[in-house]
Amino acid sequence: MSYIEIIGFLAAFCTTISFLPQAVKTIRTKNTTGISLSMYVVFTVGTFLWLLYGIMYHSAPVAAANLVTFIFAGTILIYKIRYK
Amino acid sequence: MSYIEIIGFLAAFCTTISFLPQAVKTIRTKNTTGISLSMYVVFTVGTFLWLLYGIMYHSAPVAAANLVTFIFAGTILIYKIRYK
């Protein structure tokens, strides 16, 4: 694996896993006042489109990373709608 | 352009632009209580790594999209650190 690929995988790992602490915090505290509803609507739609793109383009890393992010972002979005 | 590429561009547009309403909201309200510091540290590092990857891999769309997201996420991170 080249060092460019390693940077790509590290990047994918960071932008995917970063939504986990936000999801955990939102589920625990139910405090969503500082969170933007528009952001999570557009972002969740975006990750779903990336998931579709990954499946149709036969790119397992894109599909897998965005499936995980879609679950995290979708959870935060549901909490934002429910506890705003 | 194939419909798969159109989905990819729509996906990139959504996941990039979604951070704008969050940045605007955070700058206006300075309310960062519901926002996870860990998320924005890891996410901002991740977008910077995507930017490096895009430059080194000569992928203008990856570099451009992540430069924009890096600016938005970095702004939110600075506000989170300053007004926590």
ipTM over 0.95: no
Give the whole-angstrom CA distance, residue A36 versus residue A40. Answer: 7
Q: Which residues of B touch A14 (CB under 8 A)?
A: 42-43, 45-46, 49
pLDDT in tens, B14-29: 999 999 999 999 999 9
Quick one: pLDDT at residue A82?
96
Give the whole-angstrom CA distance, residue A13 versus residue B48. Answer: 12
Q: Could you tell me what percent of chain A has a pLDDT over 90?
A: 87
pTM: 0.92
pLDDT for residue B61 is more than 90: no
Do residues A53 and B11 touch, judged by C-beta distance below 8 A? yes
A→B contacts (Cβ < 8 Å), by residue, are: 4, 7-8, 10-22, 24-26, 29, 31-36, 38-43, 45-47, 49-50, 52-53, 56-57
> What are the helix (H) ranges across chain B?
3-17, 19-29, 37-56, 60-82
Quick one: pLDDT at residue B80?
97
**What's the token pair of residue B13?**
């547009």
Q: What is the mean pLDDT of chain B?
A: 95
Interval B42-71 mean pLDDT: 94
**Three-state DSSP class for residue A35:** coil
Quick one: pLDDT at residue A32?
95
pLDDT for residue A84 is more than 80: no
The tokens 């879609």 sit on which residue?
A: A70
For residue A83, give the H/E element and its range: none
The tokens 């739609």 sit on which residue?
A: A45
